[in-house]
């Protein structure tokens, strides 16, 4: 007798659109479990500012890769790909469907498509780029990347120093554009992938983001950031919601301006998420308010 097909249903979309809620509803419908691929929610010390699912939500469906590592741990997208594929192998023994949810496009692609292969980078290149960042800031890195790989510069999150440094490392080490290494490797996974996207018009997305930030502040985001201030140089904390508040603690921003910057940078982040996810022409897009029944009907047609 032929084994039934295995399906990974991935819920994507901009931040604050309702991915967690939909993932839980789908997991309950299919009597299955959820993999989180939101790289900001991996860290146990970052709870409020990363919008980790509430205790009630976590109890509604079994989640994996939520607060499973520390900000002090070294954990790459390659580590996540390995761990996620191992977990999926285990879950597919008892389930024909598994749900994955999150807004980290690179991590979604790592699970569905596999990672691109890059050349080794000599340590001195990494060291020099980190010194450049410390001494001259992210603008110097951005200028260099625009020169070496204008194609990738236009597509990537140029405000993320780790991503910019990584792209520059490859450009310098290989003497080729970083973008020339992308999408070269074809990986065959032992499951079929169905990607569900949630969206709304821009005003609705931005309003939901602004309200979510206000709720985070009410729930203690400033106090959480204060506890993490000592460790502000760690890679995990170079992210929206924390870096703006660190500037407030350092006296560079007022409290009100820091909060407005959190909102502004989160809106920009959402825009980049949509740009990334829109590249996948096979994504099934739905308005965030659409009834669950219609989403499930469409999923079943794809199976």
Binding residues for substrate: 15-20
Q: Which is it for the CA torsion 113, 114, 119, 125, positive or negative?
A: positive
Place of tokens 């409020």: 48
CA distance 267 to 264: 5
CA distance 233 to 239: 11
**Helices 19-30 and 292-302 meet at what angle, rounded to 10?**
60
CA distance 38 to 284: 20
Radius of gyration of the chain (CA): 20
Cβ-contact 177, 154 below 8 angstroms: no
Which ranges of 19-96 would DSSP assign to H, the alpha helix?
19-30, 55-60, 77-91
Annotated binding site for ATP: 13-20
Cβ-contact 63, 100 below 8 angstroms: no
CA distance 26 to 297: 12
Place of tokens 């659109």: 17
Helix (H, G, I), strand (E, B) or coil at 51: coil
Annotated binding site: 13-20
CA distance 296 to 289: 14
Cβ-contact 271, 163 below 8 angstroms: no
Within 13 Å and on the Cβ side, how many CA atoms surround 234? 19
């Amino acid at each position: 007798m032929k084994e039934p097909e295995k399906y990974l249903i991935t819920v994507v979309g901009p931040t604050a659109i309702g991915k967690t809620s939909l993932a839980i509803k789908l997991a309950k419908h299919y009597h299955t479990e959820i993999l989180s691929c939101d790289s900001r929610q991996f860290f146990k010390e970052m709870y409020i500012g990363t919008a980790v699912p509430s205790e009630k939500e976590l109890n509604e469906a079994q989640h994996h890769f939520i607060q499973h590592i520390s900000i002090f741990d070294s954990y790459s997208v390659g580590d996540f790909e390995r761990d996620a594929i191992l977990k999926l192998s285990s879950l597919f023994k008892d389930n024909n469907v598994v749900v994955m949810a999150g807004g980290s496009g690179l991590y979604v692609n790592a699970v569905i498509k596999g990672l691109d292969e890059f050349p080794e980078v000599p340590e001195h290149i990494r060291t020099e780029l980190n010194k450049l960042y410390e001494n001259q800031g992210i603008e110097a890195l951005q200028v260099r990347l625009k020169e070496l790989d204008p194609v990738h510069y236009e597509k990537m999150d140029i405000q993320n120093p780790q991503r910019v440094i990584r792209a520059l490392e490859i450009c310098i080490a290989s003497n080729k554009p970083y973008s020339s290494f992308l999408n070269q490797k074809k990986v065959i996974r032992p499951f079929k992938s169905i990607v569900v996207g949630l969206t709304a018009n821009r005003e609705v997305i931005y309003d939901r983001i602004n309200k979510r930030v206000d709720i985070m502040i009410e729930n203690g985001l400033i106090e959480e950031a204060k506890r993490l201030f000592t460790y502000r140089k760690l890679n995990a904390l170079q992210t929206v919601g924390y870096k703006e508040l660190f500037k407030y603690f350092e006296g560079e921003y007022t409290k009100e301006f820091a909060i407005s910057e959190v909102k502004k940078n989160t809106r920009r982040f959402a825009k980049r998420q949509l740009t990334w996810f829109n590249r996948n022409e096979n994504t099934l897009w739905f308005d965030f308010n659409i009834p669950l029944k219609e989403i499930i009907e469409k999923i079943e047609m794809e199976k």
